[in-house]
């Protein structure tokens, strides 16, 4: 069941997503070689709580193992999603996808950014560029009257035409009072298919894109998902609302890009 949001609810969604955007911006300020993803997690959790919100991912249940122990998913290099923050210092050349969620006034924010640590290869930079571009192409396609499959197609077409793999096992989603609501928003699909896009629809669009094969595998910790071929993966995510017929981005990369520079 899809819950369309009122104008007031969209404003509450924006507030929650701005907390997430702020937490990711805090990470952008300090991410560098030598820092650990556990330190990034601590910073994000403090920021979220200082802003009166709750880190959604902390304690997130897992039917196959322990609940998630941290406030961010930190996925390094060949880790696609759901990486557990660790004590391993980051090295120059690493890429780190930081996925963050916050609950504020009963509504959820959800956004992810893949950061570069020190100097990364051109190959990695291009993967990040194309993945981020595909996110924005998906967002541009999210217009009232179109269908979810139009978003899916836009993301898939851009990534695959650049030679990259599209992860199929994880998808974007509706978002609101629950972190994951209907509809599913796959990063692959056919134009004109799937649920109709209407005003009040709030969704997280989140391409998870691989340098090589899109095949993935689950690690023994029952959280971390890696590429099967050990090649890099990237992940960018915005939460959007359909408002006055078109997509409004409720999360934000603006502060991150001021720090990181707009590579792409």
Residues engaged in binding Mg ion (CB under 5 A) = 99, 110, 112, 204, 237
CB of 60 to Mg ion, least distance (A): 11
CB of 170 to Mg ion, least distance (A): 9
Closest to Mg ion by CB, 154 vs 203, is 203
CB of 122 to Mg ion, least distance (A): 27
Closest to Mg ion by CB, 62 vs 92, is 62
Distance (Å, rounded) from C-alpha 207 to C-alpha 236?
6
Distance (Å, rounded) from C-alpha 145 to C-alpha 56?
32
Helix 122-141 to helix 148-161 angle (10° resolution) is 160
Closest to Mg ion by CB, 87 vs 168, is 168
Structure tokens at 168: 């199929």
Radius of gyration of the chain (CA): 17
Backbone angles phi, psi at 46, to 5 degrees: -60, -45
Closest-CA residue to 216 (of 149, 160, 168): 168
User: Which residue in this structure is represented by tokens 């996110």?
Assistant: 135
Closest to Mg ion by CB, 79 vs 99, is 99
CB of 243 to Mg ion, least distance (A): 19
CB of 166 to Mg ion, least distance (A): 16
Closest to Mg ion by CB, 49 vs 180, is 180
DSSP-derived secondary structure letter, 228: T
Strands (E) located in 105-207: 107-116, 165-166, 172-174, 181-185, 202-205
């Amino acid at each position: 069941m899809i819950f369309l949001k009122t104008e007031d609810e969209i404003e509450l969604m924006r507030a929650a997503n701005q907390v997430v955007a702020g937490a990711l911006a805090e990470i952008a300020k300090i991410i560098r070689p030598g820092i650990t993803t556990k330190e990034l997690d601590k910073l994000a959790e403090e920021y979220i709580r200082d802003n009166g919100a709750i880190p959604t991912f902390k304690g997130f249940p897992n039917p196959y193992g322990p609940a998630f122990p941290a406030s961010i998913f930190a996925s390094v290099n060949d880790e696609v999603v759901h990486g557990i923050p660790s004590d391993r210092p980051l090295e120059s050349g690493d890429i780190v996808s930081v996925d963050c969620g916050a609950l504020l006034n009963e509504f959820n924010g959800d956004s992810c950014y893949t950061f570069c640590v020190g100097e990364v290869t051109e190959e990695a930079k291009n993967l990040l560029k194309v993945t981020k571009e595909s996110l924005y192409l998906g967002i541009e396609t999210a217009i009232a009257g179109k269908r979810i499959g139009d978003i899916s197609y836009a993301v898939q077409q851009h990534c695959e035409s650049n030679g990259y793999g599209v992860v199929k096992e994880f998808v974007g989603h509706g978002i609101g009072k629950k972190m994951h609501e209907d509809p599913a928003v796959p990063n692959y699909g056919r134009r004109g298919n799937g649920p109709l896009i209407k005003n009040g629809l709030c969704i997280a669009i989140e391409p998870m894109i691989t340098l090589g094969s899109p095949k993935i595998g689950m690690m023994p910790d029952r959280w971390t998902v890696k590429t099967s071929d050990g090649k890099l993966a990237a992940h960018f995510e915005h939460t959007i609302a359909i408002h006055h017929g078109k997509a409004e981005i409720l999360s934000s990369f603006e502060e991150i890009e001021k720090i990181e520079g707009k590579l792409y």
